[in-house]
Structure 1
Amino acid sequence: MVRRLALVTGASAGIGAAFARIYASHGYDVALTARRAERLEALAGEIRLRFGVEALVIPADLADPDAPRVVMEDLAAHGRVVDALVNNAGYGLPGSYADSEWAAQREMLQVMLVAPSELAHRVSPGMIQRRFGRIVNVASLAGLAPGSAGHTQYAAVKSYLVKLSQSLHLENLSTGVHVTALCPGFTYSEFHDVNGTRTQISQSTPDWLWLGADEVAAAGYEAAEANRPVCVTGVPNKAIAALAKVLPDDWGLALMASQGARFRKV
């Protein structure tokens, strides 16, 4: 019997690795892609031993426009199709927009907007034909809140993923394909270590706002199974998302400006 396959991007650590383990625990084979091959190999070995499923390793840098095509061709060469897609790869670029290099901003768009859109587009026809599919786009609470100074494209991209997921959800109501935007808040992972903001974030954010990567991924898996178009993780984050819906824009922007100033003083 051929098991279903879950493709997870950004699978080398954090939420991506947690998603790989969760899908494997539910009997899926997994295909793991990220830049760090050695991390992927270690995770694949753990998953094979722990869950008794197949784990394919496909090192790829989604900043390369050809990467989504290459990943899908690699899976096709293994005779596999994607039954669940977790678009998790992402990162933040601290600092102001004007002070950054456009090449870095363009790469961010490629990794976090173009690549997940292309992967969803590539896997959707087969999912619809087989009348089964799961697509989880890892967005963020930032995509539901007003924009902030710094990390300029991050919230914008995450907002795009929310809207994309909602539209795909509506398009697939009768196809057996479930689409969910997962919107976590602060999550224990390598995210803030990679962009160099760990110290500031840790000092300025209370412990009760944080969730573990396993908790976030579990909530995302359950939301996709239930076919919920948007999943906000954690009670505090749900309250923040609800407030963002009703808060006047100028109040929301003033609040974000105040929070940004407090963060920069840390």
Structure 2
Amino acid sequence: MTDASRWALVTGASAGIGAAFARELAARGHHLVLTARREDRLQSLAGELRQRHGVRCEVAAADLADPAAIDALCNELGRRSLNIDVLVNNAGYGVPGHYLAQPWTRHAEFLQVLVTAPCELAYRLLPGMQQRRYGRILNIASLAGHVPGSAGHTMYAASKAFLIKFSQSLALENQQYGIKVCAVCPGFTWSEFHDVVGSRESVNKMPKWMWMSAEEVAREGVDATERGEIVHVTGKVNRAIKALIKLLPDRMGLNIVQRRSKDFRVQEPK
């Protein structure tokens, strides 16, 4: 990814993994469109990227929980005459507690952000990529999409497993157009995610060797996409965990996750 004429759109770019992907792409010469809810953070990051890397950087604040947000965002891209060749579907969060602990409206917003928005953005931007015979779509999934579901954060692993399968099909459909699609699957990553969902105290007790920085995840993710990998689990430890889970009988894997859920998922009081 070195063609400076290419524009990349990064969702959830205001912090964490999204901001790291924006920095990584800017360092490789891409112009950026940054989107998230917090415009002040986006403007700060945009200023940093312009100054450090000399790239163009546009800000388009949006709340992807709004079903109308993608249409408005794509219209804004058209108004600014920006052709997106690299899409990083990163926006996401977790809904803590058990399934019935939250109102359905909150679950519906979660699905809108983590499932519907990435699919709609890919649908809206793919025709241009196909026409230009170049494109990259990075769907930020998770190691959670490869292991059994846990108690708490009920739809998180399910949404990430969906992104993995979606990425596989999309990649196979678009190879002939010079488009590469990759589901990037981080494990535990230093970011604001665990602070937002309230699991920071629990996950901080986990060994340091299980963690990666957001910068490492972004660098691995971009490199894997360029190599043509369709699914990439970041980090040797996470790849070992995935391999081990695949070898275990389903019941044993589920029992392990059941015993350890409290270490990384917010639980409800019984």
Corresponding residue for 1:240? 241
Corresponding residue for 1:152? 154
Mapped pair 1:228 → 2:229: yes
**Counterpart selection for 1:90 from 89, 92, 103:** 92
Paired with 1:160 and 1:222, the residues of 2 have a C-alpha distance of 22
Give CA-to-partner distance per residue, 1:103-125, whole Å, 9 cap, x none.
11100000000000000111111
Q: TM-score, normalised by structure 2?
A: 0.95
Q: How does 1:94-105 map to 2 (within 5 A)?
A: 94-105=96-107
Change (3 A) 1:179 1:262: closer
Give CA-to-partner distance per residue, 1:45-74, whole Å, 9 cap, x none.
000001111100000000000111111111
Corresponding residue for 1:164? 166
Q: Which letter maps to 2:190?
A: Y
**Counterpart selection for 2:67 from 65, 68, 74:** 65
**Counterpart selection for 1:45 from 19, 44, 47:** 47
Paired with 1:223 and 1:245, the residues of 2 have a C-alpha distance of 21
Q: Which letter maps to 1:206?
A: P
Corresponding residue for 1:254? 255
Corresponding residue for 2:9? 7
Corresponding residue for 1:190? 192
5+ residue gaps, structure 1, are none
Q: Tell me how far 1:261 sits from its aligned partner.
A: 4.5
5+ residue gaps, structure 2, are none
Corresponding residue for 1:138? 140
Corresponding pairs, count: 264
- SS of the equivalent of 2:9 reads strand
| RMSD, aligned CA | 1.4
Q: Tell me how far 1:2 sits from its aligned partner.
A: 7.4
Give CA-to-partner distance per residue, 1:177-210, whole Å, 9 cap, x none.
000000000000000011111111112x110000
Q: Percent identity among equivalent residues?
A: 54
Paired with 2:111 and 2:214, the residues of 1 have a C-alpha distance of 24
The structure 1 segments of at least 4 consecutive aligned residues displaced by more than 6 Å after TM superposition are: none
Corresponding residue for 1:211? 212
CA contact (8 A) 2:202 2:263 kept: no
Paired with 2:125 and 2:50, the residues of 1 have a C-alpha distance of 24
Corresponding residue for 2:128? 126
Q: Tell me how far 1:13 sits from its aligned partner.
A: 0.5
CA contact (8 A) 2:182 2:229 kept: yes
Change (3 A) 1:96 1:3: same
Paired with 2:248 and 2:67, the residues of 1 have a C-alpha distance of 38
